């Protein structure tokens, strides 16, 4: 199904998708007549015209539905989804495309966060150039697009010269891919960098390239000043902020409440995301509650990265007797969401020292999130966490949802209920962009062989 030529029904101006099972929470202004099953899914027929959704009706599932006039207006070419789920295209709100796919030349020797950091710094010192970043970054875009993602935010290592090189490549690729992917970039430096004049220049550069201000904070006596500084630099330039926060299982890591309190004190009004926030899960209950209230009050979005955190957190060395990992590494996604805080899941690193696996597949991200964070029983509106919620925190209108008048940017799966959807990889999915099926061929790893050849 990867070849668009094999899907002639999608090439005309007008056609129907029948028997499509859609998570009800992803529908804009759903018809109150739609029946919703126990898993929150609703069976509909859709009509697509000129790349947009023209109508959504309850699927004709027998005489009663027909009698109620629930069929589409007139016969048109039809694809029968046979009850398979249909989702809006995915939104991946936290990636590191500039580091992606270096694993073959720069693996992580022991799987720890510390070794990952050391390895990527050494890799960049040796290899960072436009010729190295461009093909790897584009490899990530190709995978994402083929698997049904339509918008990506990537963090980009931005220390000194690296910023110019990688943001240069990013801007080229953002332009080259503008019709296929909405791309956003966040600068990534240690927050102390913003206390320097280079840090201020980096903030200026983010304003120039339409980027987002970001960085990673580490617990230290100056952290509060650094957080205040980065928010002020963003505030004076009207920039959104996206931070790496408390990526550890150390209860003493408390940057999240610090960011929230500072944002409140500064009356920070741009969009603000805090990502990872793992240590919140290992802090005392009353402290957790206070932090969640602050996060809510400050209007912070939380992005959880379950696959990468499961890989890095609680990693123990080969020499340790008790080397079995015991905790899952995720933040309090349920408690945050229950308090009204937007919670998104994203893929994070891909085949680099921070995470040795991954394929930029947001269905995999969601499937693993469901398993790691127990997003099932009930699934509720968690399908929004990789679609609508990240679209909103990225400021993308009408993305990650399905509604009449919206572009037909859709992913058609074979899986019907969630057990079917999440038990197989769904690599036979069909991706429609503006109503047309796309070429879903994944890039061959061999494309990067020459680049990654270890001398
Ligand atoms: Zn990250």
Each residue's pLDDT expressed in tens, for the chain with a length of 455 residues: 444 446 889 988 999 999 999 999 999 999 999 999 999 999 999 999 999 999 999 996 543 444 444 455 566 899 999 999 999 999 999 999 999 999 999 999 999 999 999 999 999 999 999 999 999 999 999 999 999 999 999 999 999 899 999 999 999 999 999 999 999 999 999 999 999 999 999 999 999 999 999 999 999 999 999 999 999 999 999 999 999 999 999 999 999 999 999 999 999 999 999 999 999 999 999 999 999 999 999 999 999 999 999 999 999 877 787 889 999 999 999 999 999 999 999 999 999 999 999 999 999 999 999 999 999 999 999 999 999 999 999 999 999 999 999 999 999 999 999 999 999 999 999 999 999 999 999 999 999 999 998 65
Report the distance separating Cα 131 and Cα 325, nearest Å.
38
Rounded distance from Cα 133 to ligand 1 centre (Å): 17
**pTM score > 0.85 for this model?**
yes
Rounded distance from Cα 305 to ligand 1 centre (Å): 8
Strand partners for 58: 44
Q: How far apart are the first and last CA of the chain?
A: 39
User: Residue 68: what pLDDT?
Assistant: 42
Q: Kindly report the number of other CB atoms within 10 A of residue 452's CB atom.
A: 17
Active site residues: 247
With the CA atoms of 443, 449, 451 and 455 taken in that order, what torsion angle do they form, in degrees rounded to the nearest 10? 160
Radius of gyration of the chain measured on its C-alpha atoms = 22
Rounded distance from Cα 348 to ligand 1 centre (Å): 5
Report the distance separating Cα 306 and Cα 353, nearest Å.
16
Find, among 410, 412, 388, the residue nearest to 398 by Cα: 388
Residues in the chain: 455
Report all structural domains of the chain as residue ranges with CATH numbers, in order of start.
Answer: 4-88+402-437 (2.30.40.10), 90-393 (3.20.20.140)
Rounded distance from Cα 74 to ligand 1 centre (Å): 49
Rounded distance from Cα 97 to ligand 1 centre (Å): 10
182-216 pLDDT, tens per residue? 999 999 999 999 999 999 999 999 999 999 999 99
């Amino acid at each position: 199904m990867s070849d668009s030529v094999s899907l002639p029904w999608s090439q005309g101006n007008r056609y129907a998708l029948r028997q499509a099972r859609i998570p009800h929470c992803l529908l804009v202004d759903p018809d109150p007549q739609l029946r919703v099953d126990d898993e929150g899914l609703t069976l509909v027929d859709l009509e697509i015209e000129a790349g947009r959704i023209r109508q959504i009706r309850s699927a004709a599932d027998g005489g009663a539905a027909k009698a109620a006039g629930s069929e589409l207006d007139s016969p048109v070419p039809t694809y029968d989804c046979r009850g398979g789920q249909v989702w809006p295209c995915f939104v991946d709100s936290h990636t590191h495309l500039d580091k992606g796919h270096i694993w073959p030349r720069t693996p992580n020797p022991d799987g720890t966060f510390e070794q990952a950091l050391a390895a990527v710094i050494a890799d960049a010192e040796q290899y960072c150039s436009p010729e190295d970043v461009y093909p790897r970054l584009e490899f990530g875009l190709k995978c994402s697009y083929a698997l049904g993602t339509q918008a990506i935010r990537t963090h980009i290592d931005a220390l000194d010269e690296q910023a110019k090189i990688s943001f240069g490549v990013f801007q080229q690729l953002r332009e080259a891919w503008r019709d296929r992917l909405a791309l956003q970039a966040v600068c990534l430096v240690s927050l102390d960098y913003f206390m320097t004049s280079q840090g201020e220049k980096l903030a200026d550069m983010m304003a120039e390239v339409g980027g987002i201000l970001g960085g990673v904070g580490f617990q230290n006596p100056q952290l509060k000043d650094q957080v205040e500084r980065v928010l002020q630099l963003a505030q004076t330039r009207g920039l959104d902020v996206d931070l790496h926060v408390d990526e550890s299982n150390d209860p003493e890591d408390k940057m999240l409440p610090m960011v929230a309190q500072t944002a409140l004190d500064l009356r920070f009004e741009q969009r603000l995301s805090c990502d990872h926030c793992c240590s919140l899960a290992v802090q005392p209950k009353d402290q957790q509650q206070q932090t969640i209230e602050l996060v809510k009050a400050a209007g912070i979005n939380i992005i959880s990265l379950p696959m990468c955190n499961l890989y890095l957190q609680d990693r123990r060395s080969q020499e340790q007797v008790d080397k079995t990992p015991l905790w899952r590494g995720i933040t309090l996604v349920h408690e945050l969401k229950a308090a009204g805080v937007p919670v998104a899941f994203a893929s994070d690193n891909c085949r680099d020292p921070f995470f040795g696996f991954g394929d930029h597949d947001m269905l995999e991200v969601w499937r693993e999130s469901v398993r790691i964070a127990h997003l099932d029983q009930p699934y509720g509106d968690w399908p929004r966490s990789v679609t609508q919620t990240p679209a909103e925190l990225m400021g993308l209108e009408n993305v990650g949802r399905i509604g009449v008048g919206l572009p037909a940017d859709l992913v058609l799966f074979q899986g019907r209920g969630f057990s079917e959807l999440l038990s197989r990889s769904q690599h036979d999915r069909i991706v429609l962009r503006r109503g047309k099926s796309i070429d879903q061929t994944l890039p061959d790893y061999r494309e990067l062989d020459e680049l990654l050849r270890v001398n």
